[in-house]
Amino acid sequence: MTGRVSFEYALLRVVPRVERGEFINGGVLLYCRARDYLAAQTHLDVERLRALDGRAEVAAIERALATAADVCAGGAGAGPVAAEDLGKRFRWLTAPRSTVIQPGPVHTGLTLDPAADLARLMRSLVLPADTR
């Protein structure tokens, strides 16, 4: 690899009761144009989710998180957006929305290895402390 290149990332927030605005981090999206890389990692901490909303539909939320990862991968189950280029997919995933899965703000960084930085961000920002 040549040197460090810029990347963008955003957290996927799980907002079980949109009207309350409370959320937990459920995943990370990472896009690196220079490395032609777009991927997501997700994890739903059901115990923390239940603390926010004991009636949250865990299976539906897990499916929504999986769909975001499928869009990144260009999977057939992701619909027409999966056919778009990586940058358009990232912008589509990070567009503001008022649903149970919401993107956080887009941040930037420098990387030698986008996959390694995705894993690092996942450990530090999403996974519970006891699994890091």
Please say whether the beta carbons of 42 and 65 come within 8 A.
Answer: yes
The predicted-structure confidence for 63-108, as pLDDT tens digits, reads as follows 999 999 999 999 877 889 988 999 999 999 999 988 999 999 999 9
Q: What is the pTM of this model?
A: 0.93
The residues, any chain, with a CB within 8 Å of residue 22's CB and separated by 6 or more, are: 15, 16, 52
| pLDDT value at residue 131 | 67
Token reading at 71: 């869009």
